[in-house]
C-alpha cells in the first residue's frame, strides 16, 4: 500500500517511520510512505506556503497554488490516490474508518497548518476530510501518522499474526480484556487462575466476558453496535450481563 503525505515539515514524520512495526512494514514492502514537501512547489523565492486570510481575522491560511501543484505532481505518478485532508471538521476517525481505508491501494494525506487550507483546495482536490478527535493540533502531521499506523497494522502480513488485529480494542466495538504477564503475583495482586489453567475454551470465555464488562464500565455506548453470536449470548445470560447490556443500549437509544 502506498501512502503519500503532503506537509511543510517532512522531517517531523521521518522518525516514526524508522521505528517498530512501521519500519518493519516498510522494509518488508507491505507499505511505501513518501513524504512530499509542499514548500518545494511554492512560487516565490521565499518558499511561502501561507498568507493572510481575505476578509481579515487571526492567523494565516495555506495558499492554494503550492498545494495544488504538489497534489497534481504526486497524482501524476502511479495509481490514483484517495485524497484525504486531515481537518478538525472532518469525519471522526474510528477503527471502522481504518478498515475502510485499508481497502485502498493508495492514500494521499494532506497535512493542514495554521488556520487551515484555502477552501478552493477542498472543493477541487479533496475526496474526504478526517479528524482524529475533537481537539486542535498545530498541524495535520501527527494525525496523518495516526492514519498510517492504524491502517498499516490491518494489512495482511504486517503483524505476523492476523488474530492480533482482529482481537484489538474497537475491532468489534468492545474494549479489550485485561492483560497479565509474569510475575504471577505482584505486590499482593494475583493473576486470575483461569489464565493459568491451560483450558483454552475457558480462557476464551473468560476474556470475552471481561471484555464486555470493561466496555460496560468504560465505554457503554459502544455496545449499541455489537452483534453477539448465539454462544456469546448464552455466556452473557449465564453471567447475568444480558439484561445489563439491554438496559444500557435502551438507555442510549432513549437519549439519542
Domain assignments of the chain as residue spans, ordered by start: 2-160, 185-254
**Do 5 and 149 form a contact (C-beta atoms < 8 A)?**
no
The single-letter DSSP state of residue 170 is T
pLDDT at 173: 85
Q: How far apart are CA 245 and CA 48, in angstroms?
A: 55
108 backbone dihedrals φ, ψ, rounded to 5° = -110, 120
Contact 36, 10 (CB under 8 A): yes
Q: Is 134 annotated as a binding residue?
A: yes
pLDDT at residue 255 in the model: 66
114 pLDDT more than 80? yes
110 is in an annotated binding site: no
For residue 136, say whether it is annotated as part of any ligand binding site. yes
Choose the catalytic residue: 16, 53, 64, 88. Answer: 88
Name the catalytic one among 65, 115, 214, 232. Answer: 115
Query: How far is residue 137's CA from residue 139's CA, in Å, rounded to a whole number?
Result: 5
Is position 149 annotated in a ligand binding site? no
**DSSP conformational letter for 46:** T
**Residue 31 CA, distance from chain mean position:** 16
pLDDT band of 227, cuts 50, 70, 90: very high
Over the chain, what is the mean pLDDT?
94
Residues 137-159, mean pLDDT to the nearest whole number: 97
Query: Is 133 known to sit in a ligand binding site?
Result: yes
Residue 167 pLDDT exceeds 60: no
Reply yes or no on whether 168 is catalytic: yes
Asked if pLDDT for residue 38 goes beyond 90, the answer is yes
pLDDT at 107 over 70: yes
Burial of 254 (0-12, 13-18, 19+ CB in 10 A): exposed
**Cell numbers placing 166:** 482482529
> For residue 47, what pLDDT band results from cuts at 50, 70 and 90?
very high
Would the CATH topology of 2-160 be identical to that of 185-254? no
Domain 2-160 -> CATH class: alpha beta
Banded model confidence at residue 254, pLDDT cuts 50, 70, 90? confident
Residue 243: C-alpha distances to residues 70, 199, 238, 247, 250 (Å): 55, 28, 11, 6, 10
* Residue 57, marked binder: no
40, 104, 218 from 15: Cα distances, Å: 21, 25, 33
Residue 68 clears pLDDT 80, i.e. is over it: yes
The question of whether 115 is a catalytic residue gets the answer: yes
Catalytic, 118? Answer: no
Q: Residue 141, Cα to own-chain centre: how many angstroms?
A: 13
- Among 168, 214, 232, 242, the active-site one is 168
Q: What is the CATH number of domain 185-254?
A: 1.10.1270.20
Predicted model pTM: 0.87
Q: Is 88 a catalytic residue?
A: yes
Average pLDDT, integer, range 25-38 = 98
Amino acid at each position: 500500500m502506498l501512502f503519500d503525505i503532503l506537509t511543510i515539515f517532512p522531517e517531523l514524520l521521518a522518525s516514526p517511520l524508522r521505528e517498530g512495526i512501521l519500519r518493519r512494514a516498510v522494509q518488508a514492502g507491505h507499505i511505501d510512505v513518501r513524504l512530499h514537501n509542499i514548500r518545494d512547489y511554492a512560487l516565490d523565492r521565499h518558499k511561502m506556503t501561507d498568507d493572510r486570510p481575505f476578509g481579515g481575522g487571526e492567523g494565516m491560511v495555506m495558499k492554494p497554488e503550492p498545494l495544488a501543484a504538489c497534489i497534481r505532481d504526486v497524482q501524476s505518478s502511479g495509481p490514483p490516490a484517495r485524497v484525504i485532508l486531515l481537518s478538525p471538521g472532518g469525519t471522526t476517525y474510528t477503527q471502522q474508518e481504518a478498515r475502510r481505508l485499508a481497502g485502498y491501494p493508495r492514500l494521499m494525506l494532506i497535512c493542514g497548518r495554521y488556520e487551515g487550507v484555502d477552501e478552493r483546495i477542498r472543493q477541487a482536490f479533496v475526496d474526504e476530510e478526517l479528524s482524529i478527535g475533537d481537539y486542535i493540533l498545530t498541524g495535520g502531521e501527527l494525525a496523518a501518522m495516526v492514519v498510517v499506523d492504524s491502517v498499516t497494522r490491518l494489512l495482511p502480513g504486517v503483524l505476523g499474526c492476523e488474530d492480533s488485529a482482529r482481537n484489538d480494542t474497537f475491532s468489534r466495538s468492545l474494549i479489550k480484556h485485561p492483560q497479565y504477564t509474569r510475575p504471577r503475583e505482584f505486590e499482593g495482586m494475583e493473576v486470575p487462575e483461569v489464565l493459568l489453567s491451560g483450558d483454552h475454551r475457558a480462557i476464551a470465555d473468560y476474556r470475552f466476558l471481561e471484555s464486555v464488562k470493561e466496555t460496560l464500565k468504560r465505554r457503554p455506548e459502544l455496545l449499541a453496535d455489537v452483534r453477539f453470536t448465539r454462544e456469546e449470548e448464552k455466556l452473557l445470560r449465564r453471567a447475568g450481563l444480558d439484561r445489563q447490556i439491554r438496559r444500557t443500549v435502551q438507555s442510549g437509544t432513549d437519549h439519542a
